[in-house]
Amino acid sequence: MAAPRRTPSGPRRAAARRAGGRAPRPGGRSTRRPEGRRRARQPGRAPARRPPGGLTARAAVLGLVVCALVLSLAYPVKQYVAQRGALAALQRQRVQAQSRVDSLERQRRRLSDPAFVEALARKRLQYVMPGETALVVVTPHPQSQRRRTPAPTHDLDASKPWYSQLWDTVRIADGG
């Protein structure tokens, strides 16, 4: 008769748990198979199958992690692009403001010159120095003259109401 098997107890059992399950057999024989060998299919047990479509749980988890990363990075990237656009617009505004400041600075320097102010007053305001005589020559400008057509003579009908007569005078004055 065979002797009953004894289970390890105490420190041997704890070492077995850390090692991954079973305690070593007495006599030093290991119950593990070499890495290259697989278990033979046991009769009565169905082999593990993948779900239809080939999607495993590991692939589903990986897909969820990738989706979570994409969604968590979408808003910061959107904000980054928007801020870059706003920064470019502000740079353009700064350049325009600087050119306006330069223009005003040049104008301030010109207006601080007494000879320029005197010439400007003579031209725009028609000022003259004491002892000088101002002559103003009025010449007709062809582009400012309007072509005038003689207004047609209309006899106002006294039988019309007053507001129709008023409207007729407005049309006559308008030239039409």
DSSP labels, 87-142 = HHHHHHHHHHHHHHHHHHHHHHHHHT-HHHHHHHHHHHH----TT----------T
Is the pTM higher than 0.75? no
Q: How far apart are CA 8 and CA 21, in angstroms?
A: 12
Q: What is the mean pLDDT of each run of 10 residues along the chain (176 residues)?
A: 59 60 56 56 62 79 94 94 96 97 96 93 88 85 59 65 86 78
pLDDT of residue 167: 87
pLDDT of residue 110: 94
